[in-house]
Every structure is written in structure tokens, then in C-alpha cells.
Structure 1
Amino acid sequence: MSNVIARLDDVSMNYGERVVLQNCSLDVVEGAITCIIGLSGAGKSTILRLLNGLRKPESGHVYVKGTDICHMPEHELINFRSAIGFAFQFAALFDSMTIGENVALPLRENTSMSESEIEKTARGTLESVGLENNYDNFPSELSGGMLKRAGFARAVVTNPAIVLYDEPTTGLDPIITHLLTDTIKRLRAQLNGTAVVISHDLQSIFMMADYVAMLFEGAIIAYDSVTKIRASMNPIVQQFLQGSEVGPIPL
């Protein structure tokens, strides 16, 4: 396998009495798009929050670029998070700020760039997602798909090594879904970086993924290329991919 840029090693995670991850391990390949699939509430978003240090596991280790971030002091975690892009499910833009100001925010908070450099970079990043004419608009003036793309721009504006996408196509029509999927692929190529995507949209996943991991009952039960995942003989994987009511996954 190619170089691994991030790794969950035997991670367990609970929310109160509920076990979310149990002895879960996952390798994130550098320079690739890894998509995580699984049932609703399976813990996919938790994996993203572990990878950027927003959550700490009950046991196990989370390595990013060779560093175990589980025991990293908070002040170091703040700097670490600034190097990881995060595109939230609902964009999470500040309503009182323009799109340009939202995208520029990570640069203002985490770099020593001048204001002219910040604006130039923010405008260039918005252009890369097709929003070059929306710099001065407010979030309320944009459609759902445009808000998603603005969120993508904010996630990548600092040129992070890893970008995490939480349900990037949820609730959008097929045309916008195709556009966003293509945008994720293009941004990964432009950044020469790594992306981790969680989604329920299998068609979108199969269009963009280099690797697919399936999370079930707290663990990664399958991890391989798109072609091999689609041909998997694992009955759980096949039931999920086919959307069948018949199989080992309880309804």
C-alpha cells in the first residue's frame, strides 16, 4: 500500500453508554480520496472528529503524519487543527460575514499574511470552486450547493495536507451532487493532498473514491479499492451496497 498519512489504531470510543467505535483501525493513504460508508449513526463522523483532534478515544491511538495526537497538549492541538481542512455537513458559515470573509477567516487566524495577500488567496480559492463572483455576497444569498462549495473553499484555503468532508452531498439534487463530487476530486488534485469523505451517496462515492472503507458495529469490516469493494464477497458489504432488506444487517 502507498504511504499512510493518518491512522486509527485499535480505537474505541463511547458516547455515554453507547459504544460507537470498538477496536477500530483505519489507514488513510496519502494523496488519495478515502470514502467511509456505513449505516446512519455508525460512527463515521466520529472518525473525522478523531482525525482532527476534536475528540479523543477511550483507548487506542490516532496518528497523523506520524504523530500520536491523542496525547497532544491543547495548545499544540489548536495549531494542528489549523493544518487540517474540515468541510462541515451544513457548511457552518458565519451569517454575519460575507463569503469572502468566511473563506479568509482561517488565513487571518492562522497565518501572518497581509490583508492584500489574504484577499488575493481567498478570491483565488473561491474561483477554484466556481464562486469568484460571490466574494461580497452573504450566505443567505447563496443556494445550498453554493454554500457547500463556499465551505469547501474555506476548508482548503490554507492548503492543508488533509481535508475532511462530512456528508458533502446530503440533501442535494443529482446535478449539484455531481458538481460537488467533481469539485472534491479537482481540489484534491490541485492541492496534491489527501481527502477523507463520509457519505451515504454510493454513486457519488464510486465516482470520487480511490479507497472505500465500510464501518459496521464499531469497526472497519472492509477496506479496499472501489472495484474490489463492489466485488466484495462480504455479505454485510453486499447487503449495504444493494440496499437489500435481506441479509445480516438488522433492520
Structure 2
Amino acid sequence: MFSERDLSADLAAVRDEHAPDALVLDCARDFETLPAAQAEDLALVTDAFDPRSYPDEWLPADAPELLHRYASDELTVGAPGDGGVAWTRQTEPPVVLVKPRLEGSPEPFVDFLVAEALVQVGLDRPEHFLGFFGERYPDLAAAAEGRLDGTGTYQLAAALYDAYLGLHTREVFAGWADDHPDLFDAWVDAGERLEPRLADLSTELARGETGFGDAAELACAAIKHGQEPPTPFGALDTEAYREYGADYAVEWAEKTFDRLD
């Protein structure tokens, strides 16, 4: 199921700097959330498991089943929206998993995704938004009540956490211009590819042509790529969000949905 991935010199340097103990593994099968049996196969390539679990009271009544699974004491790796690379610190050492869906993708793009995961592993931040929001997650759901169902709130929370991580990682990416120019160029290119989709996003959101969760995903991706997010997401591209985290995100959601009513 898993085999160690050969790393370019740039990726090896990024790993040494940010997550020196991490294993980077190619996966034989694609996944959104790693099936339990395959997750257990990680025991063959790691030394120990340390599954995370979270209190039931953090979960709203309409939380998706996947979120209940993630909150349990079952080893749960990966989530919808992770894309072609997932990572976890629930193993010793941590692992970065490269999915087969990336086969045929441009090498610089794949290398950037792996590098991004290595930087995130090294941040010592929660690997899932539930660990980020914690006891404030029901407050986020309450702020979105009437506009988003449980799945929509999940999508919004994932996007908000993506933006929060981006506020911490983009300085690293921006600093790669000289030392790792190929990785830097891939980061810039990914951001530039978002620009056409961002241009009319506020209008599409106001007209109901784009759902709030989808808009949040795009806008929050812009933040981590150093692009300016459109209204009403600009308030997330701030030092205040970086500093205050989940409390700030919940307050932003409350104010934003109040204005939309």
C-alpha cells in the first residue's frame, strides 16, 4: 500500500528544515479518508500510532458522519478536500501521503504540494479543523444556521482553517524565491491560476450563483497563495486572524452571516 517516495534535492532540503523525521510515502490506492484497514498498514512503515480524539460536545447535531469518525479514537487519516496529498502526525514518525491521482500532473506542482505538506507538518498546528475550532465549532455551526447544513459548515470550517494555515505558511513559500525557485514558481503559479475565478466571486455569491462554502474555498485558497481575497473574505487576510485563530473566525462568521440576512 505504501512505498517511500524519492525526493528531489529541494524537497529533501524542505523536509530537513521543517519536518526532518517525516516519511513521504506514495500510496498504491487513492482515497479521501484512508480506509481503516489501509490506515492500519501504516504500522508496517511507522513505529507507533497516536490517534487523536475529541469530545462529542464539540460536534453539532447535524455534523457529518465523517466528523464523528474523526472525533473518535479511531485512526483517521485524510479528509475530503485534502487533494492529492495528505499528512498526519498521528503516527510516529509523521507521514506525508502522495495519492496516485497526481500521476501525470506536472512535477513542479506535485513537488509543491509535498513541500506544502512538509511545512504544515512542521508548524505543530492541528492537522484537522476540528482540533483548531475545538469547543468553538458548535458556535461556528450556530452562526451558519439557516444558511449552511452540517456538510456546508464542514466545508466552511475546512476553508477557514486552510486560510489560517496559509497565514503561517505563505511567508515560508515567499522566501523560497532564491533557495528553491522551482517550488516558489509553483506556489506563485497556483495563485495566479486562481485570479480569474476570484474576479467575480463576490458578485456570484451575492446573486446566489456560487454557494458560500465553494466561495470560501476559493477565497481561502487565495490567502495561502498570497492573492487578495474578495469581499467578504478580506477580513480573514489579517494579522488578527493569524493571532486569534478560531475565536476570530467564529466572530467573522457571525458578522458575515448577519450582514447577509
Do these two structures clear the TM 0.5 threshold for a shared fold by scoring above it? no
Structure holding more helix per residue: 2
Q: Using CA pairs below 8 Å that are at least 6 residues apart, which structure has the higher relative contact order?
A: 1
Q: Per residue, is there more strand in 1 or in 2?
A: 1
